[in-house]
Structure 1
Amino acid sequence: MHLRDLIQQYRIRCDAWSMEYDSAVQLDSFKPSKVEDIDIGFEIDRDEWSPINSKISSENALRALEPFFVIDGVQRMHMRLLFEHEGEYRFSGLGTAVVGALKVQPGQRLSMHDALIGAEVNRYALLGDLPVDLGEGTTIAGIPHPFNPMYIREFQNSNSTAAPVQALTQAMREREKHLVFSLQSKLGKGTLLVDGPLPKYSVEPRKWVVGYIKTLHTQYLPPKQQNVLSLLAAGERTPLFLLGERQVSWYMRLSAPRPIDHSLTGLVRLEVLSNQPKAHLKEIQELADQLCRVLPLLVIEKFKDARSPQNLLPIHTLEQQLKNLIGDPTLLQRRLDAFLYQIHTGEAS
């Protein structure tokens, strides 16, 4: 059999994301979850699953979602550190996490000053299991914002090269959570689209927090319902399903795949949390239908973002702004090198 015949017979298609990123479908961990923890018939009887096409107009959907914000965080490890003490070694590092929100108003122009909300830069000295405690942050010449101590003793593998990165990610998630709570308390109504799965946010209708998951790690649906994903057209969604007691989720397709793309191209999973999911079913249905109309309007062109269509234009824009707040990588590296050089030699580098 030739490769051409193999591709045709087994419907082999390409992954739309650039090779500089992992796949949007993580097949190494794309395993079925426990079916008993999932209510497939939460919205529609499991035997009647089929694509759902929202009947609401884009204009009315956007009006219902407003004010509409996307929330994200970025992080960067600047330097790995190895502490040497009495023949033992401790892995540590220096890193920065920045979180922020971007107000979204399709069809209207907002200055970045008006659109970017709650941006916060936090630098960390990520310290391994050391027998000392630092009292306060360290200011380094030429770098705005001090590096505050953060201890990584609580991680199971705290003395590993991965531990500082894990600690930085945890710190970023905590700052995202704080920003969500802050915006929720200020909003009378509105929608917060959080890039990534939801932690345990408090949720109420009219002030929805929506988790936006670009990468599919787990197969939550049985094969029959899983096949519905490949049938979704752009702007269509699956029926809602319940994960556990509070987590309501669904899939939607942002844009139509090219003929060469695999059937999961352009799919995202969304989720909300509710203490009374059955009581809030109608509101969640309306929210899901509204997002099906609005999110496809926010798809970014592939030449602008290698993770298109899942990395929406507002998320892309917010990420770029937050990365700028971290600072120029080369300049930061030089100033950190100079800081260490002066400590160890007493001279400027």
Structure 2
Amino acid sequence: MKFAVDPWDPTYGTSLGTELGESAAQVALDVELPSSEWQPIDPDPWVVPPDAVLFVDGVRRVDAQVWVDDGGAEAAPALCASYAAGVVCCCKDGAHLLTADVRRGLFTTADAADDVRTTAGTYRATRTAPHPDVAPAQLLSLALQRELADTELAAAAAARGGHDSVHGGADDLLVIDGPLRGRQHLPRAIGFVKSHRSDYLPPQLGGVVAALRTGQRTPVFRLGSSWERHTWYLRLPCRPGAPWAGVVRVECSADLSAGEAVGHAARSQATLPRFASTEYKDSRAPQNLYPIAGLERELRRRLGEPNLLYRALRRAAAA
């Protein structure tokens, strides 16, 4: 029996869903090539990597699950969470942190919610409207994710402005860890999607992804759902094995012309593979790029000691 082991750490799920769900997104395949001519595309040797690559990521942690007395018969559920976003720059001077923004929040549906002040920091109250069709825990988690996305956007804008002022607007590429949604207006930005849950390509073209070799990509195509973007698949350096091993999906704004989108795709081929991680150093190799992994570690360190924050919340509740 022959089989292949996915290098992705199973504690994170899988890089490829066991069964890719059929997507309802509208797909335009002929952005770069007609669908009848689809084939793996080699890196363009004439494409020059950017002077600097700015990697954006965020982390979140629930410090405590709490209940807020809203004056009714039952207390409202809430989350006290710490979250942070930052940007690391990789350029000729090496890798260095440009910005890191740490925030704490109380997420609840309670109208009477107020900021929670503790000896370890203040949790700013963020109220979200209840929804009868969404479980409270999921509703609060989504509210936390929205705040984290806003923090990532603010960190990216601040880092890009600071980098341009210091380096005189030097050529750069902004890499968002995750979908580009909500950040597609940022200039020279791409979204970096590590795992796959939906099947966007028709069956006859799915084999093009499996046939990709290291550094190769699919042609650019366009996705339209609740938002639109240009996208393509790219295989990072990895050990041969599973058909989708090392495959990531990269996005750029739908506002770009077809030629500009193809330019972003070619630039991603010249840029992203050199930051790919290796199995013996990272359990999510090669998709968990080294700068992003390092940024995640630094941001988690800045979230603070969870036991200290939990005790501070207990004391604040008792007071």
TM-score w.r.t. the length of structure 1 is: 0.81
Output one character per residue of 1:271-319: Cα deviation in whole Å (capped at 9) or x when no partner.
00032423xx1x3323222221221111122233211110000000010
Within the candidate set 4, 14, 23, 2:14 is matched to 23
Instruction: Give 1:239's aligned residue.
Output: 219
Instruction: Give 2:94's aligned residue.
Output: 109
CA separation of 1:185/1:337 partners in 2, compared to 1, >3 Å: closer, same or farther?
A: same
Using the TM superposition, give the Cα deviation of residue 202 of structure 1 relative to its aligned residue in structure 2, in angstroms: 4.9
Instruction: Give 1:89's aligned residue.
Output: 75
1:121-140 aligned within 5 A:
121-128=102-109, 130-134=110-114, 137-140=115-118
The one-letter amino acid paired with 1:31 is G
Instruction: Give 2:52's aligned residue.
Output: 67
Unaligned runs of 5+ in 2: none
Equivalent-residue separation in structure 1 for 2:277 and 2:291 (angstroms) = 9
Instruction: Give 1:251's aligned residue.
Output: 233
Within the candidate set 1, 5, 16, 1:14 is matched to 5
Say which is worse superposed, 262-271 or 159-168, in terms of deviation: 159-168
Output one character per residue of 1:202-239: Cα deviation in whole Å (capped at 9) or x when no partner.
547xx311000001111111112111011111111011
- Report the secondary structure of 2:296's partner residue: helix
Instruction: Give 1:50's aligned residue.
Output: 39
CA separation of 1:44/1:86 partners in 2, compared to 1, >3 Å: closer, same or farther?
A: closer
Equivalent-residue separation in structure 1 for 2:132 and 2:150 (angstroms) = 19
Output one character per residue of 1:58-84: Cα deviation in whole Å (capped at 9) or x when no partner.
xx632xx23310001000001011235
Using the TM superposition, give the Cα deviation of residue 16 of structure 1 relative to its aligned residue in structure 2, in angstroms: 1.6
Equivalent-residue separation in structure 1 for 2:265 and 2:80 (angstroms) = 40
CA separation of 1:173/1:88 partners in 2, compared to 1, >3 Å: closer, same or farther?
A: same
Using the TM superposition, give the Cα deviation of residue 179 of structure 1 relative to its aligned residue in structure 2, in angstroms: 2.8
1:1-349 aligned within 5 A:
4=1, 8=2, 12-28=3-19, 30-34=20-24, 37-56=26-45, 61-62=48-49, 65-83=50-68, 86-105=72-91, 108-110=93-95, 115-128=96-109, 130-134=110-114, 137-141=115-119, 143=120, 145-153=121-129, 155=131, 160-184=136-160, 187=164, 188=169, 189-203=171-185, 207-244=187-224, 246-258=228-240, 261-278=241-258, 281=259, 283-340=260-317, 342-343=318-319
Using the TM superposition, give the Cα deviation of residue 24 of structure 1 relative to its aligned residue in structure 2, in angstroms: 0.8
Equivalent-residue separation in structure 2 for 1:18 and 1:131 (angstroms) = 41
- Report the secondary structure of 1:286's partner residue: helix
Equivalent-residue separation in structure 2 for 1:297 and 1:284 (angstroms) = 21
- Pick the structure with more strand per residue: 2
CA separation of 1:333/1:131 partners in 2, compared to 1, >3 Å: closer, same or farther?
A: closer
CA separation of 1:296/1:321 partners in 2, compared to 1, >3 Å: closer, same or farther?
A: same
Determine if contact 2:222/2:254 at 8 Å carries over to the other structure: no
Determine if contact 1:77/1:165 at 8 Å carries over to the other structure: no
Equivalent-residue separation in structure 2 for 1:61 and 1:288 (angstroms) = 12
Unaligned runs of 5+ in 1: 344-349
CA separation of 1:290/1:332 partners in 2, compared to 1, >3 Å: closer, same or farther?
A: same
For these two proteins, the number of residue pairs brought into alignment is 310
Larger Rg: 1
Using the TM superposition, give the Cα deviation of residue 331 of structure 1 relative to its aligned residue in structure 2, in angstroms: 2.5
Output one character per residue of 1:303-349: Cα deviation in whole Å (capped at 9) or x when no partner.
33211110000000010011011012232223323333x42xxxxxx
Determine if contact 1:32/1:221 at 8 Å carries over to the other structure: no
Output one character per residue of 1:108-134: Cα deviation in whole Å (capped at 9) or x when no partner.
534xxxx21221111001122x24252
Determine if contact 1:211/1:270 at 8 Å carries over to the other structure: yes
Determine if contact 1:233/1:256 at 8 Å carries over to the other structure: no
Equivalent-residue separation in structure 2 for 1:148 and 1:203 (angstroms) = 28
- Report the secondary structure of 1:217's partner residue: strand
Equivalent-residue separation in structure 1 for 2:76 and 2:142 (angstroms) = 15
Give the aligned CA root-mean-square deviation in angstroms.
2.3
Equivalent-residue separation in structure 2 for 1:264 and 1:158 (angstroms) = 33
